[in-house]
Chain A
Amino acid sequence: QVQMVQSGPEVKKPGASVRVSCKASGYTFNTYDISWVRQAPGQGLEWMGWISGRNGNTNYAQKLQGRVTLTTDTSTTTAYMDLRSLRSDDTAVYYCARGGASTGYDAWGQGTLVIVSS
């Protein structure tokens, strides 16, 4: 069965960077896109960006442009989300999900809590 397993929780100081990984299994990795979504405390779901499984093309939410980078490693079927210059309002649960905007997200990671605090 399809599984997306994410890395563990992180606590970071403002200005630092964080990397969240997402290990995919149960399907052919490069035939599906992977998207990242986050949920801040008490808030709704926020789309962060998307990476093509075929060619590595990316598209990022405008508000995160310049601070977020999505990559994949096809040899380990793992996707990565790097977020730089962390601020307190980046505190959220971060999810990876299989799929794109037009197809919907049919499999999700369990979520990774990132806390940004001094």
Chain B
Amino acid sequence: QSVLTQPPLVSGAPGQRVTISCTGSSSNVGAGYDVHWYQHLPGSAPKLLIYGDSNRPSGVPDRFSGSKSGTSASLAITGLQAEDESDYYCQSYDSSLGASVFGGGTKLTVL
């Protein structure tokens, strides 16, 4: 059981908007620690998609955005494309564990 909770599956049609939630607690997201998001295609290395809650590294399309409120964070993808089909993970720091923590991952299917 992951410290950060994500829905296991999310789907959407091409062109649609989808969101992936990441729910934590007062010792991680709720404590103000930054949330980061990764895209991970099986067989390849994870890719940093969003850092510091809502910042995009250079080269990441602006279709991807991140937000945070209270003990939850969200990743939004607009204008869904077939190439967005992947696993997505949130990650933060947990002060009770003194460790980095990942969400359990969300598999995005483009219908």
Contacts and interface: CB of A to CB of B under 8 A. Distances in A.
Contacts of A110: 44-45
Contacts, number: 66
A62 B36 CA distance: 22
A45 B37 CA distance: 12
A95 B102 CA distance: 14
Given A44-B102, A47-B102, A59-B98, A104 B45 contact: no
A45 B98 CA distance: 17
Interface stretch (B11-19, B75-83, B85-93): B85-93
A22 B2 CA distance: 27
A29 interface: no
A39 B41 CA distance: 12
Nearest to B87: A44
Contacts of B47: 108
Given A46-B102, A47-B102, A101-B99, A106 B45 contact: no
A78 to B, nearest CB: 18
Contacts of A53: none
A97 B102 CA distance: 14
B97 A62 contact: yes
A61 interface: yes
Given A44-B105, A45-B40, A59-B99, A102 B45 contact: no
Given A45-B105, A102-B34, A108 B99 contact: no
A103 interface: yes
A50 interface: yes
13 contacts: A37-B46, A44-B104, A45-B40, A47-B91, A62-B97, A62-B99, A95-B45, A100-B100, A101-B91, A102-B93, A104-B36, A104-B48, A110-B44
Given A45-B46, A103-B34, A111-B44, 18 more contacts: A35-B100, A37-B46, A44-B104, A45-B89, A45-B105, A47-B99, A59-B98, A62-B97, A95-B45, A101-B93, A101-B101, A102-B34, A103-B51, A104-B34, A104-B91, A105-B48, A106-B51, A108-B47
